[in-house]
Structures are given as structure tokens and as C-alpha cells.
Amino acid sequence: MDYGGLVKRALDIMWKFKYLWIFGFFLEFGSGGGGGMGSWSDGFDRCKLPVCDFFGRISLMSILIPLILIALVVFVLFVILYVISQGGLIHCVSRIESGDKPALRDGWNAGVANFWRVLGIAVLMIICFFAAILLILGPFVLLIIANKIVGILSAVVFIPLFFVLVVVISLISLYAYRVCIIGGKGVFDSIAGGWEMLTGNLGKTLVVALISIGSTIVYMIGFLIVGLFLALPFIVLGAINLFLGIALGVIVGLIYIAVASGAWGAYIDSFWTLAFLEMKKSKPGETKM
């Protein structure tokens, strides 16, 4: 497998098809205020009557409940967009590799069409993750409680085992999504296909994973360097006008984070999809679809 070619191709797709950044953004992040209440709070703090305590709690709840509901709605919205983006990006990259030129709408439609299957895979993988916590870290904690020395020594076994299980679950999920979207399989068949792809291409998968880690390090360094240069003008502006410097800096910073994370998400997901397609071509690790 030409790993360098995969990186180059993923970067090329990321740059030529910039609408994929929208999917990439939600994949990366998938993932109030109340200035007029000060006098109410102070008044109820000074009042010691039971009725004041009651209304004080009602006042606090009137702030917290809407904020919690808003946060819940935003969370659910991001989960929905994450799932759609996962299917959409994989579908688009697969079609691009086959010579087509899919549009944003094509990716969106594919993400919506495969929504429940992708969500099912994600939920089962999360369940597996928590099962790994219970099966590995549970006994480890119990050993520490029973005997601190034995518990600490057991960390040599339990911690690496937990790390390996988490990595395996993550890799299976990466492949399962692609078996689902590209192969058109159901939830359980996709997970089984992800396991087959991992075990049949273990060496290649480890190399791809190491390249992903290296790419992440390069990205983070570049992100911080560019971010620092972008921040310098607003630091200077803040010395002249603090409010203006902070306001403009926050706006530009949020735009920068959104664009950078979107581009990065498009690249890294394209890279894994391209690797998956290459592994499918190789007979030793071929997955039945």
C-alpha cells in the first residue's frame, strides 16, 4: 500500500472538495447569560423568610431549566449532524475515488439515508467502551480498595489492556462505518465487517493509525502556530482598546477554529476511507460485502 499516496490523495480531496469541511466540522465537534438577575438574587439572599427561600429557588430554576434545555437541544442537534456528516463524508470520498463528482446534497442525502444504521453502530460502540471500563477498570479499582499494593501492581496489566481494548473498539468503529456506507450493510453486519477488516489487515491498520497520529501532531503544531500569529494583531489592538480587541479576537478565533477543524476533519476521515478502499482491493484482507 502506498501510504504516502494516501496522505497526498486525502489532502487533495480535502482541498478540492471544500464542502466536505462542513461534514468535517461536525465530525470534529460531534464531538448563556443573565445580567438582569443580580438584584433578584441579592434580595432573596438578604431575606430569611421561608417564602423568600421558596421564590429564590423558583428564580434559580427559571434560569437553570431553560439553559439545560437549550444545552440539551444543542447536544442532540450536534449528534444528529455528526451522524449525518459521518455517512455523508464517507459516501462522497468513495464516489470521488470512483471518478464521480458528488455535491454536498449527495453527501447529505446519503447521511440521512444511513442515519439510523450509523447511529446504531455508534451506540453499540459506546456500549462496548463502557463495558470495557466495567470489565477492566472495575476489577482494578476493587483490587486497590482491597489491597493498595496489589492494586497498584495490577495496573501494569489492567491499564495497557484497557488501552488496547479502547484502540480496538475505535478501529472497529472506523471500519464499521465504512462497511455500512460503502458496503450497504446493516448494523451488526457492519460491526462484524469492521472486525474482519481489522484482523485481516492488522499490520496495514497499525501503519495507517501511526500516520494518523503523526498527522494529528503536525496539525496541532500548525494550528497553534497559525493561531498565535492570528492572535498577535488582536493582542496589540487589545492594548489600545480592550473590548474591541477581545470582541474581534473572539470572532476571528471562532471562525479560525471552525475552518481549521472542518478542513482537518475532512482530511483525516478521507484518509481512513481511502485506506479502507485500498485494503478492500488487497486479497489477503478482503472483506465480504
Query: pLDDT per residue over 134-167, tens digit each?
Result: 888 778 777 778 777 777 777 787 788 888 898 9
Query: pLDDT per residue over 24-61, tens digit each?
Result: 888 887 653 444 444 434 444 445 545 455 445 556 66
CA angle at residue 89 from 98 to 18, to 5 degrees? 90
| Exposure b/e, 5-40, CB count within 10 A at least 16 = b | ebbebbbebbeebebbbbbbbbbbbbeeeeeeeeeb
pLDDT at 84 over 50: yes
Mean pLDDT of 258-284: 88
Closest C-alpha among 115, 113, 116, 91 to residue 104: 91
Which amino acid, residue 220?
M
Is the pTM higher than 0.85? no
pLDDT of residue 58: 55
pLDDT of residue 262: 92
Closest C-alpha among 182, 185, 178, 205 to residue 284: 205
pLDDT of residue 212: 93
Supply the mean pLDDT for the chain: 84
Closest C-alpha among 85, 37, 218 to residue 93: 85
- Nine-digit cell string for 278: 485500498
Mean pLDDT of 228-245: 88
pLDDT at 280 over 70: yes
Mean pLDDT of 64-72: 83
DSSP assignment, residue 18? T
Domain total for the chain? Answer: 1
Closest C-alpha among 193, 50, 181 to residue 117: 181
Domain membership of residue 95 as a residue range: 3-285
